Structure formats: C-alpha cells, structure tokens
C-alpha cells in the first residue's frame, strides 16, 4: 500500500456525532470533527422525569454532513476527498425509529416533525418498561426460548419493547408506521440513496443483540409470537427483515445527492452499520477473552470468544451473544451498565445547582465575571473531587452507593431499579460521596465480569475505551483495584470512529478482513492501570456490602 488511501469513520454518540478521516495504510488520523446535536442540547422532545429521550433525525443529518465536510476541509480539501475510498458508521443502540415504506423516518414528514413518538427513541429511553416486562412474561409461555441469545431477559432499552410502546402510545404514528429501523441501519441507507425499506441491509449486530434475530430461528421469531403478545404487532415481521449482514459487507455506494453534499464521488463505498461499542471494540484492538469497556455516559462491555469455546454455552443475564456482531466469524458477547459517566454527571449537577442558580444573581459580580467564574468552577469540579477522593483513608464505615441511577442493564436487566447512598453521617462530604459513587460504578463492572466467569467464559484483562477511560485516572485505578485486573487504555482518542474506519477499509477492499485492518491500523495502548495490592482485601469486603445493599433494594422495589 504505497499510495495513501483514506477512509471515514462516523461515530454517533448520545450527545454528538464525530467523524474522522483515517489513513488506511497506517491508521493515522488526518482530521476529526464533532457536531453537537442542537435540538438535543436544548432538551427538545425529552422528558427526563418520564425517562423519555428522543432525538430528531435532522440532528443526525446535519451532523453527518457538517462533521464530514469539516473533516475534509481540515485534512486538505479536494485532494484528500479524491482519495477517500469508503465510509462506515456506528451509532448508539438500540435507538430505533418509525419509518414509512420508503424508509423515511416519520419525523421528517411535515405532519410529524414535532412529534417525539415519530423520532428516534434513544437507547436510554425507558418509557417501555411495561412492554419489556410483558415480552418477558409472554416468552416464558413458549417451548422455544426466543430470549436465549439475549441473556434470557428482554430490556426496555431494546427494539421490540420500544416499538410496542410507540404503537400503543400514538395512534397517528401507528397508522403511518410501515416498519421500524435502527439508527445504525438508517444512516447507511440514507447515504446510499435508499428509497425502499425492503432493500435496507440490516446490521447483524443490532438485530442479534436487540431484536431477537438468531441464526437458529432462521431470522426473527414468527409473526404468531408477536400477535399473541399484542395484535398491534401483526405483520411487522414481514416488513422488517430475515437476513442480516456483518459490517464487513457493503451497503452500497454513496448516492449522487450525498456525494455532492459531501464533496466526494459515487465510487465511495458505504459499509453496513453497527453499534458504537462493537465497532469501538475493533478500534480498541479487542482480543479473545479481554473485555472491551466503552466507558462514557453508560458502559457497553464487549467480549469475543472463539466459536469452539462457545459451543453449548448460553450466558445468562447479558445483552446477547451474536455470531459476527463484532468480528465476523466469531461470537460477540455484550453486557453493560445503564449509567456510568451519567452517575458522575448527576452528582456534578447536584453540586452545581447553587453555582448555576445563585452565582448569576450575585450583587458582587457583573454578569460577564459571573459567567466566567461559573465555567471555571464547573470545569474544575470533577477533577478536584477525584483528587480529594483519592487522598481519603479507607475504613469499614465508608459511604456506600448503588449505581442504578438509570436502572440496571446487566447482569439481569431491570430498568425499574434505583440508585442509593448508605452509611451517611455528618462527616459525609462531597469527596466522600463522590468516592462512593465511583466505587459503585466499579462494583457494577465487577458484577459483569463475575457473571462471565461464573458462566464459563474467562476474562483475562480489561481494555478501556471512551472519555472516562481516557480522562479519569481515579476512576480507572479504582476499577483496576475493584476488579483485581489490569486495565489497558487504548491510545486513540476516538476509538469508536477508528473502529468504523477499520470496517470501512475492509469494505473498500484495502484489507481482506477485520483482523488485518486491526493489525494495520491499530495504534496500541498508552497507559495501563494495575491493581494496588493493599486495596484488594478492602474492595473484596466492600463488594460484598454492595451486593447485600443491592439485593435489599431489589427486593424492596415495588413491582
């Protein structure tokens, strides 16, 4: 590969979309650009009190165009654009949307442009807790275990529960909804100029982990399974999909419209999409039995296991095991925590209330000074809490927290669970409570590791990816201590986007497979956290306290 060849990776997160241009010959980043969703930033179409989190497709479209064009401009303009060979996309998930027969999200139609039920239902939207519970109860009636490949418990964060809720909640959307589409499937369809939903190539990653698709079933569960659950679902399996595709497969070429919008040409190949953590695991150079933890607002934890070692094994309580969902030809296992960085962000917001609400009304400061001081204080809040928490002594009476502020994803999904703080006294100051919250998120991570091990899947180490992994040494050292395992931090900043770029390089034919792309484009690790021996016994005892408190909360949760 003497001639430079470039690929674009696009990573849709919860708050923004990031695009990167990568030299496929060596994995070097030429440029990156981030676009924050303007409607989302304003809190439009969301109601946190009801666990409703919706995103408008225009945020996605505008972000796609502007971030890629900005990348091309930063990288060198037309000369770089001419050498771009492929684009691949990852997104959050499960984040589906109602579409018409042409595959157009209903919110892009005039009559639905302000209707949250016609928009993408973000992964952390938990308005369908009731529907998820009904799916679990319904599945238990069948001899065939349709939940066997998703850990045995269906979640309100996933495809079918969200579809059922939206159809029940909104008659107009129900009448107009022809099919139901994941974000990671829609963006490649958009880029390739798709106008017939039956021709959309659906991601095996999304379908297997969230939509009950399985090779053993020959696709989705039958229509009768869903109509017996609720007749409102009648006919949807026929309008969804039977076949799925791994992300080393082309979804088509860039359409004329999008080639013109982006300043590219129609020879650019677009790959089948996947979820962010799964492509991020590839970008982070995952290897068998090493748990890839994408740590941001939540965590998504990915393992890959050789096929021979998975024979006859079903991992209870995780988000699924799907052949080819990460690396084609190898089972990918997914787990995760519904809140991780969000736990720290919540505590920051609690502490920031007087800063945000009182400082601007100060009689001692002008508005400009007050605004500057507010920014300075908020920027320093978490770093200073981390610094002070790291200095605290450890005792048996330390504050203890449960991290279920957004429910529990794994092991054993239950989105009705709530977080908790205990062992509080008059000495419980902000650094002590923050430490308890950090420990709780790390105990949640240990619960996941322990479940894999208990089910016969060894975990030999941790690969840390994402904003928290890169920016929070206190959190990472605490996790290494709690897990009693080393944690390697991948040096590439935009690892999910890099993973997407690796898949793009395979789709373009630059590499023969994903493993070769990881080898040729991977940038390695820049830091490793190792357990501190003097903390191991302390955290073993604390973890038992965490499990006891969590068990009490779960038993006390109103059903």
Distance CA 97, CA 119 (A): 6
Find the domain containing 157 and state its range. 6-284+493-523
Residue 498: what pLDDT?
97
Q: Judge if 353 and 243 occupy the same domain.
A: no
Question: Is residue 335 situated within a structural domain?
Answer: no
In a domain, 317, yes or no: no
Query: What is the rounded CA–CA span in Å between residue 107 and residue 57?
Result: 7
What's the pLDDT score for residue 493?
87
Residue 331 to residue 452: CA distance in whole angstroms? 14
Q: How far apart are CA 411 and CA 355, in angstroms?
A: 37
| Helix (H/G/I), strand (E/B), else coil: 439 | helix
Q: What are phi and psi of 458, to 5 degrees?
A: -70, 150
| 157, two tokens | 């964060």
- Assigned domain for 303 exists: no
Each residue's pLDDT expressed in tens, for the chain with a length of 559 residues: 558 899 999 999 999 999 999 999 999 999 999 999 999 999 999 999 999 999 999 999 999 999 999 999 999 999 999 999 999 999 999 999 999 999 999 999 999 999 999 999 999 999 999 999 999 999 999 999 999 999 999 999 999 999 999 999 999 999 999 999 999 999 999 999 999 999 999 999 999 999 999 999 999 999 999 999 999 999 999 999 999 999 999 999 999 999 999 999 999 999 999 999 999 999 999 999 999 999 988 999 999 999 999 988 999 999 999 999 999 999 999 999 999 999 999 999 999 999 998 988 888 989 899 999 999 999 999 999 999 999 999 999 999 999 999 999 999 999 999 999 999 999 999 999 999 999 999 999 999 999 999 999 999 999 999 889 999 999 999 999 999 999 999 999 899 999 999 999 999 999 999 999 999 999 899 999 999 999 999 999 999 999 999 999 999 986 5
Same-domain pairing of 443 and 514: no
Based on the domain organization, do 17 and 149 belong to the same domain?
yes
In terms of Cβ atoms closer than 10 Å to its own Cβ (0-12, 13-18, 19+), residue 197 is: buried
**For residue 521, what are its two tokens?**
């484009």
| C-alpha distances in Å from residue 167, one per residue of 240, 241, 522 | 15, 19, 43
Which DSSP string corresponds to 284-300? TT--TTEEEEEESSSEE
Task: For residue 550, say if its preceding peptide bond is cis, omega within 30 degrees of 0.
Answer: no
The whole-angstrom separation of Cα 304 and Cα 287 is: 7
Based on the domain organization, do 42 and 139 belong to the same domain?
A: yes
pTM of this prediction exceeds 0.85: yes
Rounded Cα–Cα distance for residues 550 and 546 (Å): 6
Q: What is the pLDDT of residue 63?
A: 98
Task: Mark whether 247 and 373 lie in a shared domain.
Answer: no
> 3-class SS at 20?
strand
306 is a domain residue: no
Count of Cβ atoms closer than 10 Å to residue 467 Cβ: 14
Which residues touch 319 (CB under 8 Å, ≥6 apart)? 150, 151, 155, 209, 210, 334, 335, 336, 409, 410, 413
End-to-end alpha carbon distance in the chain: 60
Give me the DSSP letters along 339-357: -SHHHHHHHHHHHHHHHHH
* Same-domain pairing of 422 and 278: no
Tell me the three state secondary structure of residue 113: coil
Task: Look at the chain and report how many structural domains it folds into.
Answer: 2
So what's the pLDDT on residue 360? 82
Q: Are residues 275 and 380 in the same domain?
A: no
Task: Determine, yes or no, domain membership for 308.
Answer: no
Residues 123 and 225 in one domain: yes
For residues 102 and 115, what is the distance between their CA atoms, to the nearest angstrom? 19
Q: Are residues 476 and 423 in the same domain?
A: yes
Distant-in-sequence, close-in-space partners of 43: CB < 8 Å, separation ≥ 6: none
C-alpha to C-alpha distance for 386 and 233, rounded to whole angstroms: 49
Give yes or no for a contact between 549 and 422, defined as CB atoms under 8 angstroms apart: yes
- Report yes or no on 318 lying in a domain: no
Contact criterion met (CB below 8 Å) for 6 and 24: yes
Indicate whether 260 belongs to any domain.
Answer: yes
Q: Are 360 and 463 contained in the same domain?
A: yes
Contact 10, 61 (CB under 8 A): no
Residue 410 in tokens:
């794994």
Which CATH number do you get for residue 196?
3.30.420.40
Is 254 in the same domain as 270?
A: yes
DSSP 112: G
Question: Are 497 and 472 part of one and the same domain?
Answer: no
| 356 CB neighbour count, 10 Å cutoff | 12
Rounded CA separation 317/414 (Å): 10
* DSSP letter for each residue of 232-292: GGTTTGGGS-S--B-TTSEEEEPPHHHHHHHT--TT-EEE--EEHHHHHHHHTT--TTEEE
Quick check: is 298 in a domain? no
User: Cα(290)–Cα(305) distance, rounded to whole angstroms?
Assistant: 9
């Amino acid at each position: 590969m003497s001639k430079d060849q470039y690929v674009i990776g696009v990573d849709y997160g919860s708050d923004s979309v990031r695009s990167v241009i990568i030299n496929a010959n060596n994995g070097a980043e030429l440029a990156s650009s981030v676009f924050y969703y303007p409607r989302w930033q304003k809190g439009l179409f969301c109601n946190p009190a009801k666990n409703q989190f919706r995103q408008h497709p225009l945020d996605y479209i505008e972000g796609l165009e502007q971030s890629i064009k900005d990348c091309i401009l930063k990288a060198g303009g037309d000369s770089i654009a001419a050498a771009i060979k492929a684009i691949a996309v990852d997104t959050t998930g499960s984040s589906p949307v109602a579409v018409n027969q042409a595959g157009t999200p209903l919110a892009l139609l005039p009559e639905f442009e302000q209707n949250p039920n016609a928009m993408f239902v973000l992964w952390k939207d938990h308005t369908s807790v009731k529907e998820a519970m009904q799916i679990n109860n319904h599945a238990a009636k069948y001899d065939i275990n349709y939940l066997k490949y998703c850990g045995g418990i269906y979640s309100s964060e996933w495809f079918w529960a969200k579809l059922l809720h939206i159809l029940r909640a909104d008659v107009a959307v129900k009448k107009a909804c022809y099919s139901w589409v994941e974000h990671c499937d829609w963006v490649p369809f958009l880029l390739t100029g798709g106008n017939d939903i039956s021709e959309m190539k659906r991601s095996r990653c999304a379908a297997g982990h969230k939509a009950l698709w399985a090779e053993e079933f020959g696709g989705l569960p039958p229509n009768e399974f869903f109509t017996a659950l609720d007749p409102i679902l009648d006919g949807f399996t026929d309008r969804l999909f039977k076949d799925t595709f791994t992300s080393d497969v082309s979804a088509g070429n860039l359409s004329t419209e999008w080639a013109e919008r982006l300043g590219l040409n129609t020879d650019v190949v677009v790959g089948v999409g996947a979820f962010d953590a799964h492509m991020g695991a590839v970008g982070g150079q995952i290897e068998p039995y090493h748990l890839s933890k994408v740590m941001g607002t939540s965590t998504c934890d990915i393992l890959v296991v050789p096929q021979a070692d998975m024979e006859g094994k079903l991992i209870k309580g995780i988000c699924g095991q799907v052949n080819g969902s990460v690396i084609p030809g190898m089972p990918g296992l997914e787990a995760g925590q519904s809140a991780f960085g969000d736990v720290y962000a919540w505590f920051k917001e609690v502490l920031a209330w007087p800063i945000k609400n009182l400082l601007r009304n100060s009689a001692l400061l002008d508005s400009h000074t007050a605004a500057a001081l507010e920014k300075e204080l908020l920027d320093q809040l978490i770093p200073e809490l981390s610094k002070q928490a790291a200095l605290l002594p450890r005792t048996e009476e330390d504050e203890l927290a449960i991290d279920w502020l957004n429910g529990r994803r794994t092991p054993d999904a239950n989105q009705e669970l709530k977080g908790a703080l205990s062992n509080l006294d008059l000495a419980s100051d902000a650094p002590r409570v923050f430490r308890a919250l950090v420990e709780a998120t790390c105990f949640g991570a240990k619960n996941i590791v322990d479940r894999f091990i208990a089910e016969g899947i060894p975990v030999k180490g941790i690969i840390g990816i994402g904003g928290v992994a890169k920016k929070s040494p206190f959190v990472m050292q605490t996790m290494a201590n709690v897990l009693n395992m080393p944690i390697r931090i991948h040096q590439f900043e935009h690892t999910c986007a890099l993973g997407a770029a690796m898949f793009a390089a395979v789709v373009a034919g630059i590499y023969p497979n994903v493993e070769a792309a990881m080898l040729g484009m991977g940038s390695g690790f820049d830091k490793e956290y190792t357990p501190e021996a003097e903390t191991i016994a302390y955290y073993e005892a604390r973890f038992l306290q965490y499990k006891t408190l969590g068990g009490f909360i779960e038993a006390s949760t109103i059903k």
